[in-house]
Amino acid sequence: MAPRVLRKPCYALAEICTRWGVTEADLANFAISGELTLSVVVAGLPIEDGEVEEVDDGHFVDIPHRRYRFTGTLDLWPQHAWGVIMNGAETVMAFKVEAGQYRSVRASNDDAPGFMVPRERLVMRHAELERFEAAQAAAVETAQAVPTPAAPAGRRGAPPRYDWDAFWCELAVMLQVEGMPPTQAAVIRRMEAWFAERGQFPDPSTVKRKVALLWRHHAEALARPAA
């Protein structure tokens, strides 16, 4: 009798939903909040790797290091993973890498720009599955071991949490109504003020990182040739 396979390199969304007892919409919300990373498996995809350098306040340039064809698993940025699940597919121009670096799709003149990722191609790496499950288990243990602090006098309800879904919605509305501010720093100040109005004060570096992601993709969109 053949041995049972206990570990796979990656897992489809349906497997994850069954394992955790959640919906695909739940996974989308975990992804957009930055709590887990979803990926896509590719074969022979033209890729360009490099680093991002800030040359002025809010202005960045890409410095290419390597161009090649990639075969394996690529991680998606939160907004792309959310878009693939909620919309059924998403055209991806770049993939998730460490801060200060980039990994983008390198299209030839004959290729359509970007790489189309359908929902059925989404996967989760084995390492990411283990990391997320360990984080959830630690959260449960902490909640069971540490008593919930009493709310300060004059305040009711649970302590405020950082609603990153609402953060992205506010950014979308701001861009639609007010347009893109002139600098990245202005966007950061605007969103820090928005959090402060809600009585929430997340780590400034987190706000800056999320805004930098939006700013870079906005710059990439402006740089694309008109259709």
pLDDT (average), residues 106-124: 83
Residue 129 CB partners (closer than 8 Å, separation 6+): 11, 16
What's the confidence (pLDDT) of residue 147?
Answer: 62
Convert the pLDDT of each residue in 81-94 to its tens digit.
999 999 999 999 99
Convert the pLDDT of each residue in 62-87 to its tens digit.
899 999 999 999 999 999 999 999 99
Which 3 state secondary structure label does DSSP give 45? strand
Position 4 pLDDT exceeds 80: no
Of 226, 227, 223, nearest in space to 215 by CA: 223
Q: Is 121 exposed, middle or buried (0-12, 13-18, 19+ CB in 10 A)?
A: middle
> Per-domain residue ranges for the chain?
10-130, 162-227
In this prediction, residue 165 has a pLDDT band, given cuts at 50, 70 and 90, of confident
